[in-house]
Amino acid sequence: MRTAFFGGVYSNWVALEEALRDARRRGAEAAYCLGDLGGFGPHPDRSIEILRESGVVTVQGNYDDAVGNMKTDCGCGYTDPRDNHFARISYAYTVEKTSAAHRPWLAALPERLSFEHAGLRYVLVHGSPRQQNEFLWESATPDHLLESLARDAAADVLLCTHTGLHWQRLLPSGRRVVNVGALGRPANDGRTCVWYALLDTEAEEPFRFVPVEYDHERLAREMRAEKLPEEFAETVLTGWWTTCLEILPVKERLRGRF
Amino acid sequence: MSGLVQLRPPEVRFRWLDALWIQVTGTLCNIACKHCFISCGPKADQVPMMSTEQVERALDDGRELGMRQVYFTGGEPFLHPELQRIARAALQLAPLTIVTNGLLIDDGAVGWISEESERSRYSFDLRVSLDGLTAEQNDPVRGRGTFEQVVVAIRRLGRAGLSPVVTVVEHEEGLASSEARARFLQFVRDLGVRQPRVKFLPLLRIGREERRTHGYQDHGLVQSTPLLPEVESSLLCATGRIVTAQGAYTCPILIEHATARLGDHLTDAARPIQLRWDACQTCVLDGLRCNT
């Protein structure tokens, strides 16, 4: 069985379309989205419509909960004033530009999904099973915590996103945790591609991360036309994060430029 | 007192353990900052240094409770004779932050931090205090000559490719304004630190700070304000605890308050607490969050 897992679309509808094409090309029979459809990018309705039309089963992210329920902020969990400044701009834009018709759909998305295949239970969440906006960073999440989160969620394989950076870990118990990364913006590595996770249950290494090259210049043009912050366009064009840096643990921070 | 209604302090339920703080050197410090919220200093022995075994016990208990990250604090953690051993023990389990005044970070310490950061799967952070952009701004609260010494230490860390988080206490008006934040960030960048981060902390009006300026003047403010669920769940005491040589406490600010002691060990402390101290207003109303 081949299945694609997407996270953090952040209104990057150009990358979403390309990722869906790529996953089909690689023989994926199904695709799941782990939430946060809006924020950062332009025209939030487009990503929602692509997902709804293509039948991608979607987990609710904190952004979807916030936009769907018209909350006062995105609930991303930043504490730094600069990060909050950009988060507010992004959230106000996304709320304004998301059609009222999509809000009930966003609000009704499930916080958790699961399925079984070949005797393994896969559990899909946005942040963590215990908190929708919990950041599970590679360098800041201990094995013992992942073991207990997966065990409590009855997951043999736990899939999450929310951080925007992809990684996976096979735990001492044999359980696996996969942070599927984000389609919405690059992985702060100086490359303009974005990433998703592809499961191939027949392969020796069941999960691999797939880079998606897409027309990032088009996305940046649309961001500028929508008067979104230049810092966002810069990230799309350079592959380096310019905002949301305060939340990065030191190992991840030192891999970036800013 | 008849006629007065005694307000019950709001309760904060214990959600889970995110941050395990360990008061490794108790109140022993090589300087005596005038705004220190627990009156640490070279002769301060009201909270003793922890033994290596006590630290290891706290780490074991923390793992049992699913801790996410560990903080070593004091006093000055670099005064602990077994710092390297306990830091490695922590890093084998979880990410670690050492909260330091930076004065003991010589070339040897930088070499050790680099090596340990490289070796560990988990992030190893340093939080270095600097309370001003000049000696004139920093030294009156942290002590004469500390500005120059900390600047040297930060440069040394930067040269080794390390990126300490610089923490600034807002001990004077305007120190955390948006212009000041930008200036601090540039200052640290100019010292040679890649991807710099500066964390600003509001003043806590307890400990020695009470004598420098004044203590809390509005008593009972937290008790008379409704505690919103989203504020409750974001408080350090909802997901953090501190262990000292004298037992487990609600939070790092309150280790000198017997009423904040929750038991002998961390495992005794995984239970709800009440916001009954004046200092709680700095977290509840001013939004202090001690995590890195």
Which residues in A lie closer than 8 A to residue B289 (C-beta atoms)?
79
Q: Is pLDDT above 90 for A47?
A: yes
What's the confidence (pLDDT) of residue B2?
43
Instruction: Please report the pLDDT score of residue A81 as a whole number.
Output: 80
CA dihedral sign, ordered B58, B59, B64, B67:
positive
Percent of chain A with pLDDT over 90: 91
Residues of A within 8 A of B96 (CB-CB) are none
Task: Give phi and psi for B239, each to the nearest 5.
Answer: -140, 15
Q: How far is A19 from chain B (nearest CA, A)?
A: 31
Query: Which SS3 state, helix, strand or coil, does residue B66 take?
Result: coil
Q: Which positions in chain A touch B192 (Cβ < 8 Å)?
A: none
For residues A211 and B284, give the distance between their C-alpha atoms in angstroms, rounded to a whole number.
43
Q: Does the structure show a pLDDT above 80 at B204?
A: yes
Residues of A in contact with B183 (CB under 8 A): none
Q: In chain B, which residue's Cα lies nearest the Cα of A135?
A: B68
Distance (Å) from the alpha carbon of A99 to chain B's nearest alpha carbon: 27
Q: Are B88 and B102 in contact (CB under 8 A)?
A: no
Here the ipTM equals 0.93
* Closest in A79, A140, A253 to B195, CB measured: A253
User: Residue B75: which residues within 8 A CB-CB, separation 6 or more?
Assistant: B23, B24, B25, B26, B27, B28, B29, B40, B44, B47, B49
Q: Does the pLDDT of residue B3 top 80, yes or no?
A: no
Contact criterion met (CB < 8 Å) for B16 and A130: yes
Q: How far is B183 from chain A (nearest CA, A)?
A: 13
* Distance separating alpha carbons of residues B76 and B80, to the nearest angstrom: 8
Q: Is B186 on the interface with A (CB under 8 A)?
A: no
User: Rounded distance, CA B249 to CA B260, Å?
Assistant: 6
What is the C-alpha to C-alpha distance for residues B273 and B244, in angstroms, rounded to an integer? 18
| Cross-chain Cβ contact A250/B163 below 8 Å | yes
**Cβ-based burial of B139 (10 A; exposed 0-12, middle 13-18, buried ≥19):** middle
Count Cβ neighbours within 10 Å for each residue of A185-207 and write b for 16 or more, e otherwise: bbbbeeebbbbbbbbbeeeeebb
The answer to whether residue A131 scores a pLDDT higher than 70 is yes
Q: Which letter, b or e, does each residue of B4-38 get, where b requires 16 or more Cβ atoms within 10 Å of its Cβ? A: eeeeeebebebbbbbbbbbbbbbbbbbbebebbbb
In B, residues 68-97, which contact A (CB 8 Å cutoff)?
68-69, 93-95
Query: What is chain B's Cα-based Rg?
Result: 19
Three-state secondary structure call for residue B71: strand
Distance from CA of A252 to the nearest CA of B (A): 8
Binary contact (A139, B123; C-beta < 8 A): yes
Give, for B229, the enclosing helix (H) or strand (E): helix B229-234
CB B214 within 8 A of CB B203: no
With beta carbons under 8 A apart, name residues in chain A contacting B124. 250
Cα distances (Å, whole numbers) of residue B129 to A171, B32, B141, B166: 37, 13, 11, 6
Residue B89 has pLDDT above 70, yes or no: yes
> Domains in chain A, start-ordered, CATH in brackets?
2-255 (3.60.21.10)
Burial profile A1-34: b = 16 or more Cβ within 10 angstroms, e = fewer: eebbbbbbbbbbbbbbbbbbebbeeeebeebbbb
Q: What confidence category does residue A146 fall into, taking pLDDT thresholds of 50, 70 and 90?
A: very high
Model confidence at A40: pLDDT above 50: yes
- Per-residue pLDDT at B5: 57
Give the one of B122, B161, B197 whose C-beta lies nearest to A139's C-beta.
Answer: B122
Contact B94 A142 (CB under 8 A): yes
Residue B37: per-residue pLDDT? 92
Residue B6: pLDDT band with limits 50, 70, 90 = low
pLDDT tens track for A48-84: 999 999 999 999 999 999 999 999 888 887 777 888 8
User: What pLDDT, on the 0 to 100 scale, is given for residue B4?
Assistant: 57
Look-up: residue for tokens 């930060």?
B154
What are the φ/ψ torsions at residue A158 (nearest 5 degrees)? Answer: -110, 125
Bridge-based pairing of strands A113-117 and A120-124 is antiparallel
Across A215-224, B61-70, B195-204, B282-291, least confident range: B282-291
Q: B127 CA to chain A: closest CA distance, Å?
A: 11
Amino acid A88: pLDDT: 94
Of B188, B124, B200, B197, nearest to B153 by C-alpha is B188
A169 forms beta bridges with A177
Average pLDDT value over all residues in chain B: 94
Contacts B16 to A, Cβ<8 Å: 130
Residue A93: pLDDT above 90? Answer: yes
Residue A140: CB partners within 8 Å, gap ≥ 6?
A249, A251, B68, B69, B95, B122, B123
Region B170-175 average pLDDT = 88
Is residue A216 within 8 Å of A14, Cβ to Cβ? yes
Best residue in B68, B69, B125 to probe A by mutation, most A CBs within 10 Å? Answer: B68
pLDDT reading at B286 higher than 90: no
**Which stretches within B17-106 are classed as H helix?**
52-64, 83-91
**Chain B residues closer than 8 Å to A144 by CB:** 63, 66, 93-94
Q: Are strands B247-249 and B261-263 parallel, antiparallel or unpaired?
A: antiparallel
Are A15 and A212 within 8 A, CB to CB? Answer: yes
* Measured CA distances, A115 to A3, A110, A132, A149, A179 (Å): 12, 14, 19, 17, 17
Chain B: closest CA distance from residue A28 (Å): 32
Over its C-alpha atoms, chain A yields an Rg (Å, rounded) of 17
Domains and CATH numbers, chain B: 11-284 (3.20.20.70)
* Residue carrying the six token digits 């997951």: A155
b/e per residue A56-70 (b: at least 16 CB within 10 A): bebbbbbbbbbbbee
**Nearest-by-CA chain B residue for A133:** B234
Task: Report the alpha-carbon distance of residue B249 to residue B284 in Å, rounded.
Answer: 18
pTM for this entry: 0.95
Q: Is B99 helix (H, G, I), strand (E, B) or coil?
A: strand
Q: In which band, very low, low, confident or very high, does the pLDDT at B174 lie, cut at 50, 70 and 90?
A: confident
Cis peptide before B75 (omega within 30 of 0): yes
Least trusted range by pLDDT, from A241-250, B47-56, B92-101: A241-250
pLDDT (tens digit per residue) in B211-224: 899 999 888 888 88
Angstrom distance (rounded) from CA A199 to CA A197:
7
pLDDT digits (tens, 9 = 90+) for A152-172: 999 999 999 999 999 999 999
